[in-house]
Amino acid sequence: MSLSSTAQKIHAILPQTQCQRCGFEDCEGYAHALAAGEADLDRCAPGGVEGMHRIALALGQPLQSGSISQGIDPAYGAEGPMTVAVIDEQWCIGCTLCIKACPTDAIVGTHKRMHTVIEPFCTGCDLCALACPVDCIAMEPLNAHRTGWDAWSQPLADQALTRYRAHQQRIRRTDKEHAAELEAKAEHKLAHLESQSLHTDPAVLDRKRAVIAAALAKARARREAEMPPSPSGHE
């Protein structure tokens, strides 16, 4: 089994909370590290011991290995109940940092307005609470007696992954739109530099023109590098 197919198999059985407690950017990053032998299977606290068994089966490792019997490495958290973020409305300042941190877009609100958690979409990742500057977000357990996969489910994991991928697409789209706006402004400034600048010294204007042109070239090169390759036989 190739590395990519092994990683895909592992990724499909992770809880998809995207909590980053494992030390990787997301569940997919952890799956690739596991498949490459660059990480141990005791890092996924949301999956708990049951999750370790699932990963071991995917990797072809014995289910009674020492690492599984020891449970989740405390350095990466502990198996616990599923939690949901709750925002204290009286303390929320509307900074939007929790909205930006949420991997599944489960928080809604606008700048300087109170934010609200859409509970069915919350994975309990805790990233919003870590990002909150006024500590107004608490992670409350849904069922204190059920932990790991006993508290989670495959349909919830599938939903979380779908929302996470949509979140990533939205971020990429927003970044591209922002970059395009900045590029357009730079192009306009370069084309009208003499009329819009307070400087009249040709040498100063030339230096400014060179700086703007270099920034535009860098932005265009980055945009072209991020473009998908053209189909074979087409420009």
pLDDT of residue 234: 45
Class of domain 83-150: alpha beta
Q: State the DSSP H helix or E strand holding residue 84, giving kind and residue range, or none if neither.
A: strand 83-87
Residues 6+ apart with CB under 8 A from 36: 3, 7
Q: What is the pLDDT of residues 170-201, one digit of tens each?
A: 988 887 877 777 778 777 777 877 777 777 78
Q: Which two tokens stand for residue 39?
A: 């990480």
Look up the pTM and report it: 0.75
Inter-residue contact 89 to 106 (CB < 8 Å): no
Looking at the domain that runs over 3-76, which CATH code has it been given?
1.10.15.40
Domain spans of the chain? Answer: 3-76, 83-150, 154-226
Residue 235's pLDDT band, with cuts at 50, 70 and 90, is very low
Percent of the chain with pLDDT over 70: 91
Inter-residue contact 43 to 143 (CB < 8 Å): no
pLDDT of residue 7: 94
pLDDT of residue 67: 61
